[in-house]
Structure 1
Amino acid sequence: MGDIGLPEWPQYDERERAGLIRALEQGQWWRMGGGEVDAFEREFAEHEGAGHALAVTNGTHALELALQVLGVGPGDEVVVPAFTFISSSQAVQRLGAVAVPADVDPETYNLDPAAAEAAITPRTRAIMPVHMAGQIADMDALGKLSAGSAVPLVQDAAHAHGARWNGLRVGQLGSVAAYSFQNGKLMTAGEGGAVTFPDRASYEEAFLRHSCGRPRDDRGYRHRTSGSNFRLNEFSAAVLRSQLGRLDGQIATREERAPLLDRLLAEIPGVVPQARDARADRVPHYMAMFRVPGLAGERRDALVDDLVARGVPAFVVFRAVYRTDAFWETGAPDATVEELAARCPNADALTDDGIWLHHRTLLGTEEQIHRVAELVADAVADAARAS
């Protein structure tokens, strides 16, 4: 029905082109002989306030590696948000462990610390908060829970590049964190990921495991640990260095536009935007999320289709992980879908009536933000009349 002229994604310019040529002409295209991955890891660790960063092939592998370094394996349990992209639970299950869904806060959509605490058993080896849409989960409460239970945290920061909590960046919050650089993420090389570590020993173990258990200087194939090939290539790292260079400016624009969009959406009857925790003092806004509680299931799906037709980059939200066939293939808890849904009513409701807008929406002008809100209002009104 029309193009409202929002910025495209991904964004790139001569910096990415120069980086790709630089990687090409250095003569070595993998990390063991080149310099782009090493440089990116230093720059990203500094940006996130972490002691160390390890670049990997994608965000799912980043989660798997982070969990493996913490010793998660067969017979263990990991508490995950019920409402998240499936990689959060699948990373657990790929290691032979059990993913235990816990409910999320109905306003921020982040892991509910009380629900996480209730999910802990003697077999729990880790708790995985997901910083949904770039808003850091309640790390005050989760940090206390971790300390009191002696169960470590693994931050799924796939949405949270550059985020802050009470002035602290993700890497300064005291636990391992995993990031994604998939095509839609806040910075991207098409695919890619990273794990940040607060200590050198964990980083060194992760380096071995991401390179088939092989030390950097090995010439005799002396593989010291189990592992896989999760190494990032030099071309992707060169692109990510440029993407990192423009990230803060893009976050500043989104932080300026987001309050306007949230206010306009909140004025639409039946629309409830994601709430922001005051302690999240810098949110990169991977998504602009909202709910339409009066339009659930197929009616919500039709509303999203209508928004897309009107030129709004809208999507249905993730399904609660236990409402996918993939979740039950391996590493599922001893419970039924109905039992998990009863434990996770907020995640179940979000599955039915949640919508998100791509973060490029928040890179638009104020005029475009007003236009997006008008289109949402018109589409919601039409859907309500049709129901």
Structure 2
Amino acid sequence: MSGNRRPAPEFPAWPQYDDAEREGLIRALEQGQWWRIGGSEVDTFEEEFAAYHGAERALAVTNGTHALELALQVLGVGPGSEVIVPAFTFISSSQAAQRLGAVAVPVDVAPETYCLDVAAAAEAVTPRTRAIMPVHMAGHFADMDALDKLSADTGIPVVQDAAHAHGAQWRGKRAGALGSIAAFSFQNGKLMTAGEGGAVTFPDNASYEEAFLRHSCGRPQTDRRYFHRTSGSNFRLNEFSASVLRAQLARLDGQIATREERAALLRRLLADIPGVVPQGRDERADRVPHYMAMFRVPGIGEDRRNALVDDLVARGLPAFVVFRAVYRSDGFWETGAPDTTVDELARRNPVSEALTADGIWLHHRTLLAGERQIHDIAEILADALAAL
């Protein structure tokens, strides 16, 4: 690697907070009720989050993985059913189905956006398919027009994994306004966070009511005699987390506006570096919050890609290797795996295979920095590639 290195650029810290979070925590503390039954922070956050995303209702839960599980359970996913998921995603997308006893069926992603390839999903539909789960990768919407048509043609509902897509828009509509259930994450690195947490948005009140029961051990909110109407678990969010998330939601729009500007600049700069291919953008996605700044170095190979990421980190960039294709982790095969092999899935999912070996992402806090730091990112990457 090169000897004379430029000083490491300075990027904003993450998570971000100010007096709004402090005041929210004190408000939750002093109300005297610290769980959602009796408190007001979770209820108010749900109303604000649903309104912001154009949804009929929202339900706050313990984390994004539980949000996916709950969404699938409301749609009847369980033993004997299949759920189509992207092969390239964080493994919670597949394990949410597998934990319910269903089979996760990985299909490939589009080479430009890294989102679910709808044609591949259509080919994977069987009589056992109970849900199709697109992931809005790095805040870029999957092709919701084509997915809605596939859903209408097959009768199979779509469940949006919107863990990266807070505030994203598809043709002017946010995830909650698209007519399907969407699941969000508030894990520490997400675009808004309380350390952990999640939410599910619903297009109708009936699905919300069932989800509420199942996220609260099957018990109605007004029950006083322990009549549990359904099976379920305890996925309830606490009042302190909700108070923090209300403050996080209030500043989200401003952060997205900054990231949109910086991402456009970074994309142009990365595209000028020989051998670097930035994540593409579907122009129907008219607002992208940019959970990650993603790019590929095609042909670099996994070992050299890993070395490049290590060098970028040493030079001061918050860089990471991308997710592995879900079937390339042992956890995928423990339960609910399709009756096939790693090699066969690799053959069916060439784009996901390539991303596993040559994909890199930068933390979204880099896109909250100034223009000078965005130029620094491109210059550092070009230097590191030349040294490699």
TM-score range, shorter chain: over 0.9
Bigger mean CA offset, 1-10 vs 295-304 = 1-10
- Aligned mates of 1:145, 1:212 — CA distance in 2: 34
- Provide, for residues 131-190 of structure 1, a one-character-per-residue CA deviation record: whole Å limited to 9, x for no partner: 000011000001000000000000000000000001111111110000000000000000
Between the aligned partners of 2:106 and 2:228, the Cα distance in structure 1 is 35
Distance 2:62 2:385 in 1: 40
> 2:26 aligns to what?
21
2:285 maps to a residue whose letter is: A
Matches within 5 A, 1:335-350: 335-350=340-355
Shift of 1:5: 0.9
Matched, 1:366 2:371: yes
Q: Deviations over 1:30-78 (max 9, x none)?
A: 0001000000000000000000000000000000000000000001000
Which residue number in structure 1 is paired with residue 161 of structure 2? Answer: 156
Residue 323 of structure 1 aligns to which amino acid in structure 2? Answer: R
Q: Match for 1:317: what amino acid?
A: V
Distance 1:355 1:111 in 2: 18
- Report the CA distance between 1:382 and its aligned residue: 1.1
Query: Hey, what does 1:305 align to over in structure 2?
Result: 310
1:284-303 matches, cutoff 5 A? 284-303=289-308
Gaps of 5+ in 1: none
How much does 1:296 deviate? 1.5
The equivalent residue for 1:245 is: 250
Alpha-carbon displacement from aligned partner over 1:291-348 (angstroms, at most 9, x marks no partner)? 0013121100000000000000100000000000000000000000010111100001
2:100 to 66, 76, 95: 95
One-letter amino acid of the counterpart of residue 90, structure 1: Q
**Which residue identity does 1:223 align to in structure 2?**
H
Q: Residue 284 of structure 2 aligns to which amino acid in structure 1? A: R
Q: Distance in 1 between matches of 2:268 and 2:348?
A: 32
Report how far residue 4 of structure 1 moved: 1.1
2:385 to 365, 380, 383: 380
CA distance in 1, matches of 2:309, 2:36: 42
Aligned-partner Cα distance in 1 for 2:267–2:183: 28
Looking at structure 1, the residues matched to 128 and 145 of structure 2 have their Cα atoms a distance apart, in angstroms, of 23
Question: What is the rounded CA distance, in whole Å, between the counterparts of 2:299 and 2:348 in structure 1?
Answer: 22
- Asked if residue 175 in structure 1 is aligned to residue 180 in structure 2, the reply is yes
**Of residues 62, 71, 78 in structure 1, which corresponds to 2:67?**
62
What secondary structure does 1:137 align onto? coil
Correspondence for 1:266 among 271, 277, 282: 271
Aligned with 1:197 (options 178, 194, 202): 202
Q: 1:134 aligns with which of 134, 139, 153?
A: 139
- 2:184 paired with 1:212: no
Instruction: Give, in whole Å, the separation in 2 of the partners of 1:174 and 1:218.
Output: 31
- Structure 1 residue 3: deviation in Å? 3.5
Normalized against structure 2, the TM-score is what? 0.98
Q: Which runs of 4+ in 1 moved over 6 A?
A: none
Q: Give the alignment partner of residue 236 of structure 2, picking from 209, 214, 231.
A: 231
Aligned residue number for residue 39 of structure 1: 44
The residue that corresponds to 1:352 in the other structure is: 357
- Partners of 1:103 and 1:86 lie apart in 2 by 14
TM-score for both structures, normalised by structure 1 = 0.98
**Partner of 2:71: helix, strand, or coil?**
helix
- RMSD, aligned α-carbons: 0.6
2-side partners of 1:84 and 1:72: how far apart?
20
Give the letter for the 2:117 counterpart.
Answer: D
1:379 maps to amino acid = A
Q: Give CA deviations for 1:183-225 in whole Å, capped at 9, x if unaligned.
A: 0000000000000000000000000000000000111110000
Q: Percent identity?
A: 78
